[in-house]
Structure 1
Amino acid sequence: MAMEAIEAMRANPIAKLLTQIEQNTRSERTAVLYKTRQELGAEKVKVKIKANIYAITDIDNVKQEFTANLAVRARWKEPLMQGMSKTAEIDWDDQWNPRLELDNSVVIRNFDRKYELKYFKSDKEDKIPHVCLTMNISATFKEMFELDEFPLDYQALNIWIISEWPFSQLELIKDDEYKDHLSLCTFTESKEWYLYPQLIGEPVGEPQEIDETEEKPEQYPLYTITVQVKRLHQFYMWNHVFFMFALFLIGLSTFSIPYTDVGSRIIGAVLILLCALMYRLHMQPSLPIVAYWTALDKFNMAVLLCHILILMEHAVIGKIAQSPTISVVTQAGQADYACLGAIVCIMMIILIYFIAFFVQTLMKRNKFLEEETKNFEETNAEIEAKHGVKKDKDKNQWKYEAPPSDPMKRRVHPINGESPRLIHYQREEITRKSGRGQQALLPPLPPPSAANLAANIRMTREDYINPKEATHEMKIAMPPAVLEQAGRRSRSTSQTRGRISRSRNRVGSEQTQTETSDEE
């Protein structure tokens, strides 16, 4: 009786309308989330995640944000749909879903969800299908950059996907049958960053680490999709490090002024110090805003400290040089040279330390990233060896191949038979492929002999269709009889078109005369 009542309600249009109103008035959080997995009679779900990142754009150093366009596929076995056809009409609003959301998104421009019912090779035995949830995402994500070694740093750009079901009901794992994909050709920040090919997807936190006996807040599964980039440091080395060092060398030029001329020395040192400070303030917007010193900040502050030491040295030595005692003035000159040597030694120590830090950091960074790339390639090789190449075949993809050297086998390069205005030369006939099917251009020819084939049919590299513009017709030198027959057919077609055009003009002039007489 209960089933009959439910069927009657479904057949009733008023009941359907009320159900639609109920679905439209649900909040986003409670839309289909009131049914737990246990209530539906199923066990804990393992959701497999596969990611395809199409583009990484707008890596902002100041805001520590980046923009990504990606597609994430989550699939899980659904025993409640066992035996159902993948073309069956299913109301996905009334089905269980993993409640996946973006955890570190700042601005979401697009977040489309699409559900599909699919049968994979592993589903042939139990006949239990997989529900595939494909999420097309375009959003800006927040990431706390690690900038201690800036500008010699590398960053892990993380996209956090979290489920609103706790660990006791759901677990997010990597899809070990399909490879993750990262598009490198659409990377728009290549002038400042270098994008590595590895796309690392892994869950954060294991259910075994959670002690469910203790009374603690529920913990939720988290999955990270990580892209690794390293900064191209050349801009900062030339525009920050080299410029600040050049200002330090200019500051040493104030020692060429006699130490007795205290005013000129101090004015020159103050002007150079102000130039360094103004340049530092001018370049500040291009630097990340963090609460600690980066490697570049430490170098800049060391150079500014040397400028301050130069200014203090000029003031002290100048004061001593104003003494009326000749011996004191002579000692002041010697002390001036000693201070110059000390300041140069301090700057050399700073440079040696920075160069050693530069080399060590670069070697450590490159070694780590190369190991990550190697591990990613090994993981993909294991997937291919275990499950084969798992990817969707695109019918429109094709590969251009050079024409064979044998003239008997040379033909127009095919584009899987999909391109219009594509001409195939065959020994039996010449046809043109279009949206209306194959149309014979010329009648079949007798098969040519191998001796005179090269003389009758001259085909060069220009005769092949351009892969980018599949509109060029092939140039074929045909026998005179065939060319004459084609010319007669072309002339007859032109004459027919001329008669039709003249008849249309005559009908049009008669209509014009009739309209003129009606107006009169």
Structure 2
Amino acid sequence: MPVDGERFVWVRVNYLCISAIDTKSQKFSAEVLIEARWMQRDGEGEGDCEQDDKERDKGQEEGKGGHFDPKLVISNLDYLRKEKCWHRIESTEKCRRWVFLCWRLTGDFYENLELENFPRDVQDLSIWVSSELHADEIELLVEDRKLPTIDVNNFRANQEWNLFHHVESEKLPETPNSDVELGSTAGFIVAKCRVARRSEYFFLNNVLVMFCLVVLSFTIYAFAPTSNMPRIGSSINLLLVAVAFKLSVSANLPLISYLTYLDMYMLGVILYLCLNILLFASLSIIKDRAYAKDVDEYVLSCLVMAVVFFHMIFIYIFVSRTNVPIKEMLEKDRLYDKELAKMKQRKSSRVVKVVAREIPPPLNWKWSQDSQESESRVSPTSRYEETNHLLPLRINEIRRQGNNIQNIRYQ
């Protein structure tokens, strides 16, 4: 039955498998598990708090029991291959019910890749979760009880990419300046995992080939300064090879409105070869062979120093700027591992402090005057040992009374 008022829904996204990342089409294939939880209100579901054990045991029935439907959608989903959805209910000691929606799906997702640092770039693989309901009906929040996770062992695109093992989630509200009417959307929960491209392949197959063309251009100066036609012809051949190679590399990248570092390097090589052709054409004006030879040697030494200086500056800028996002992601990995270890330690270090007067004694326990007098004479250490000895009996008694032992807090 419908319920008036705004509903708070906590969302968590878990990456189960990332199978492929396509740079040209700017998509990635993944299998994700989306978990959403909200508090059940009066009148929703079937049965009462004492009859929830059977419903919790089933836990696989889809959409049954009159549950509230948050109508979650994934905004950047391109193609859905398969999906599975189920509910489960957990009750607390105050007869409060939390409904958990588990949505497991496999498909292709859009992702706007940032390729400025290509081929040593770091990319976000995002899942945008939203709702079809109005903002007055639902508010999406980031799950604060558990961290989003990713299965690094089930990463199938590891030949080209390195996967970072942290996942970030954030709430993005609707933008007031958008064309959509303000208040008509519930915002987005964005979960991001990161991958870093392995650049060794591109350095060996692209950068090294272009660098070889630069080195070969110096061999043209073996011709005499007066032999300008062989020089110009050889330089044009190298230029055509560089342009064809540049076009073949650009065919594997999406159409973008900015230059990557690999584009800058290839364009620099092409401009250098064009400059060589202009220099050879200008040297043909000099008729004096001795003077032309001196000018030719001076030009060659200047070009060698310019090429070395260009490569030194380019390598320094490229390495320094591309190291920034990689170091940032490694630092986020460290903080994620630290926070995950804290949550595990907090979960495993729950110490149950028992106070005898606050826990009802078991039914088979006989309380007498003699036992009361003997208890007053025992030391606090012995009383603590006796309390720990009786703790399993009392927990079993509490469990028989229908309470959930995980939600009991002892002071």
State the match for 2:324 in structure 1: 364
State the match for 1:165 in structure 2: 133
State the match for 2:54 in structure 1: 87
Distance 1:177 1:388, change over 3 A: farther
Distance in 2 (alpha carbons) for counterparts of 1:87 and 1:378: 38
CA contact (8 A) 1:247 1:272 kept: yes
> Could you list the per-position Cα deviations for residues 288-336 of structure 1 after superposition, in whole angstroms to 9, with x for gaps in the alignment?
4322100110011001110111111111112x14x4xx4xx43332222
Distance in 2 (alpha carbons) for counterparts of 1:299 and 1:105: 35
Equivalent in 73, 88, 95 of residue 101 of structure 1: 73
Distance in 2 (alpha carbons) for counterparts of 1:388 and 1:353: 53
Distance 1:330 1:56, change over 3 A: same
TM-superposed deviation, 1:174 = 2.7
Asked if 1:289 corresponds to 2:261, the answer is: no
SS in 1 for 2:52: coil
TM-superposed deviation, 1:94 = 4.7
Paired residue type of 1:363: N
State the match for 1:51 in structure 2: 13
TM-superposed deviation, 1:184 = 1.2
Paired residue type of 2:211: F
Paired residue type of 2:73: E
- Extract unaligned runs of 5+ from structure 1: 1-34, 390-520
TM-superposed deviation, 1:220 = 1.8
Distance in 2 (alpha carbons) for counterparts of 1:204 and 1:92: 31
Alignment of 1:229-378 (within 5 A): 229-318=195-284, 320-321=285-286, 323=287, 326=288, 329-378=289-338
SS in 1 for 2:225: coil
State the match for 1:205 in structure 2: 173
Equivalent in 93, 99, 111 of residue 143 of structure 1: 111
State the match for 2:339 in structure 1: 379
Equivalent in 96, 108, 111 of residue 83 of structure 2: 111
CA contact (8 A) 1:47 1:75 kept: yes
Equivalent in 183, 187, 190 of residue 221 of structure 1: 187
Equivalent in 167, 187, 199 of residue 155 of structure 2: 187
Distance in 1 (alpha carbons) for counterparts of 2:109 and 2:182: 29
Alignment of 1:10-29 (within 5 A): none
Distance in 2 (alpha carbons) for counterparts of 1:367 and 1:281: 32
> Could you list the per-position Cα deviations for residues 85-140 of structure 1 after superposition, in whole angstroms to 9, with x for gaps in the alignment?
25349863854211100100111112322122233xxx222x12111111111011
Which is worse superposed, 367-376 or 280-289? 280-289
TM-score by length of 1: 0.60
State the match for 1:134 in structure 2: 102
State the match for 2:406 in structure 1: none
CA contact (8 A) 1:150 1:294 kept: yes
Distance in 1 (alpha carbons) for counterparts of 2:3 and 2:164: 39
CA contact (8 A) 2:166 2:332 kept: yes
Distance 1:308 1:44, change over 3 A: same
SS in 1 for 2:258: coil
TM-superposed deviation, 1:386 = 4.1
Paired residue type of 2:87: Y
Equivalent in 19, 31, 34 of residue 69 of structure 1: 31
CA contact (8 A) 2:39 2:97 kept: yes
TM-superposed deviation, 1:210 = 7.6
Distance 1:93 1:309, change over 3 A: farther
SS in 2 for 1:225: strand
Distance 1:44 1:155, change over 3 A: same
State the match for 1:409 in structure 2: none
The structure, 1 or 2, with the larger RCO (C-alpha pairs under 8 Å, 6+ apart) is 2
Distance in 2 (alpha carbons) for counterparts of 1:185 and 1:86: 35
Paired residue type of 2:16: Y
SS in 1 for 2:251: helix
CA contact (8 A) 1:66 1:141 kept: yes
> Could you list the per-position Cα deviations for residues 399-425 of structure 1 after superposition, in whole angstroms to 9, with x for gaps in the alignment?
xxxxxxxxxxxxxxxxxxxxxxxxxxx
SS in 2 for 1:182: coil
SS in 2 for 1:79: coil
Task: State which structure, 1 or 2, has the greater radius of gyration over its C-alpha atoms.
Answer: 1
> Could you list the per-position Cα deviations for residues 222-273 of structure 1 after superposition, in whole angstroms to 9, with x for gaps in the alignment?
1111111111111111111111011111011111101111111111111111
> Could you list the per-position Cα deviations for residues 129-156 of structure 1 after superposition, in whole angstroms to 9, with x for gaps in the alignment?
1111111110111111111111121011
Q: Identity across aligned pairs (percent)? A: 23
Distance in 2 (alpha carbons) for counterparts of 1:387 and 1:203: 26
TM-superposed deviation, 1:375 = 2.2
Distance 1:229 1:359, change over 3 A: same
State the match for 2:375 in structure 1: none
TM-superposed deviation, 1:276 = 1.4
